[in-house]
Structure 1
Amino acid sequence: MKITGIRTFLMHAGQPDPSKWASDGHASHVTQHKLEGTRNWLFLKIETDEGITGIGECSGWPRVIETAIKDIAPLLIGEDPAHIEKLWQKMQIAMMGHGMLGTVGAGAMTGIDMALWDIKGKALGVPVWMLLGGKLRDRIPIYSHANTAERALAVKERGIKTIKCGGVSDPVRKVAMLRETVGDEMDIAIDLHGPPWMTPADACRLVRALEPYELLWVEDPIAPDNIEGYRRIRDAAHIPLASGERTATIFGERQLIEEELVDVIQPDTGRAGGITQMKKIAAMAEAHHIQMAPHSGSLGPVAEYAALHVLASIPNALILERIDDDWEGRRHTIVPHPVQEGGSIAVPDAPGLGCDIDEEFVVRFPSEGNVSVPVQESAKSYNPGTYGERLYVQTRLSRRSYFNP
Structure 2
Amino acid sequence: MKITGIRTFLMQVGSPDLETRQTVPVPKSAQPFGGTRNWLFLKIDTDEGITGIGECSGWPRVVETAIKDLAPLLIGEDPAHIEKLWQKMAIAMMGHGMLGTVGGGAVTGIDMALWDIKGKVLGVPVWNLLGGKLRDRIPIYSHANTVEKALSLKNRGIKALKCGGVSDPVRKVAMLRDAVGDEMDIAIDLHGPPWMTPADACRLVRKLEPYELLWVEDPIAPDNVEGYRRIRDAAHIPLAAGERTATIFGERQLIEEELVDVIQPDTGRAGGITQMKKIAAMAEAHHIQVAPHSGSLGPVAEYAALHLLASIPNALILERIDDDWEGRKHTIVPHPVQEGGSLAVPNGPGLGCDIDEEFVARFPSDGNVSIPVQESGGAYAPGTYGERLYVQTRLSRRHYFNA
Length-normalised TM-score, structure 1? 0.96
Aligned pair 1:147/2:145, yes or no?
Answer: yes
Structure-2 residue corresponding to 1:212: 210
Structure-2 residue corresponding to 1:52: 50
Note the C-alpha offset of 1:394. 1.5
Note the C-alpha offset of 1:32. 8.2
Aligned-pair identity (%): 87
Aligned pair 1:310/2:308, yes or no?
Answer: yes
1:34 and 1:220 mapped to 2: Cα distance? 31
Instruction: Summarize deviations over 1:86-111 as a string: whole Å, max 9, x none.
Output: 00000000001011131100100000
2:31 and 2:203 mapped to 1: Cα distance? 46
The secondary structure found in structure 2 opposite 1:324 is coil
2:391 and 2:342 mapped to 1: Cα distance? 39
Note the C-alpha offset of 1:167. 3.2
Q: Is the 8 A contact 1:134 1:313 kept in 2?
A: yes
Instruction: Summarize deviations over 1:162-196 as a string: whole Å, max 9, x none.
Output: 00000311100000000000000110000011133
The secondary structure found in structure 1 opposite 2:325 is coil
Change (3 A) 1:268 1:33: closer
1:44 and 1:51 mapped to 2: Cα distance? 16
The secondary structure found in structure 2 opposite 1:360 is helix
Q: Is the 8 A contact 2:293 2:319 kept in 1?
A: yes
Q: Is the 8 A contact 2:13 2:30 kept in 1?
A: no
1:209 and 1:190 mapped to 2: Cα distance? 13
2:88 and 2:322 mapped to 1: Cα distance? 35
Q: Is the 8 A contact 1:167 1:174 kept in 2?
A: no
Structure-1 residue corresponding to 2:258: 260
Instruction: Summarize deviations over 1:168-227 as a string: whole Å, max 9, x none.
Output: 111000000000000001100000111334111111110000000000000000001001
1:332 maps to a residue whose letter is H
Matches for 1:198-347 after TM superposition, within 5 Å = 198-347=196-345
Q: Is the 8 A contact 2:220 2:227 kept in 1?
A: yes
1:262 maps to a residue whose letter is V
Query: Which one of 381, 384, 392 corresponds to residue 383 of structure 1?
Result: 381
Note the C-alpha offset of 1:283. 0.1
Note the C-alpha offset of 1:31. 8.0
Aligned pair 1:84/2:82, yes or no?
Answer: yes
2:305 maps to a residue whose letter is A
Length-normalised TM-score, structure 2? 0.97
1:185 maps to a residue whose letter is E
Structure-2 residue corresponding to 1:365: 363
Query: Which is worse superposed, 252-261 or 367-376?
Result: 367-376
**What root-mean-square deviation, in Å, do the aligned CA atoms of Structure 1 and Structure 2 show?**
1.4
1:221 and 1:41 mapped to 2: Cα distance? 26
1:191 and 1:56 mapped to 2: Cα distance? 27
1:3 maps to a residue whose letter is I
Note the C-alpha offset of 1:33. 5.4
Q: Is the 8 A contact 2:185 2:214 kept in 1?
A: yes
Q: Is the 8 A contact 2:216 2:237 kept in 1?
A: yes
Q: Is the 8 A contact 2:4 2:76 kept in 1?
A: yes
Structure 2 unaligned spans of 5+: 23-27
1:360 and 1:98 mapped to 2: Cα distance? 35
2:30 and 2:316 mapped to 1: Cα distance? 39
Note the C-alpha offset of 1:373. 2.4
Structure-2 residue corresponding to 1:27: none
Aligned pair 1:2/2:2, yes or no?
Answer: yes
Matches for 1:13-24 after TM superposition, within 5 Å = 13-16=13-16, 22-23=20-21
Structure-2 residue corresponding to 1:180: 178
Instruction: Summarize deviations over 1:305-334 as a string: whole Å, max 9, x none.
Output: 000000000000000000000000000000
The secondary structure found in structure 1 opposite 2:270 is coil
Q: Is the 8 A contact 2:53 2:112 kept in 1?
A: yes
Note the C-alpha offset of 1:374. 4.5
The secondary structure found in structure 2 opposite 1:55 is strand
2:207 and 2:353 mapped to 1: Cα distance? 44
1:400 and 1:337 mapped to 2: Cα distance? 47
1:154 and 1:377 mapped to 2: Cα distance? 28
1:100 and 1:64 mapped to 2: Cα distance? 16
1:86 maps to a residue whose letter is K
Change (3 A) 1:232 1:66: same
Aligned residues: 398
1:123 and 1:197 mapped to 2: Cα distance? 48
1:153 and 1:14 mapped to 2: Cα distance? 23
Query: Which one of 75, 81, 100 corresponds to residue 73 of structure 2?
Result: 75
1:11 maps to a residue whose letter is M
Q: Is the 8 A contact 2:58 2:105 kept in 1?
A: yes
Structure-1 residue corresponding to 2:60: 62
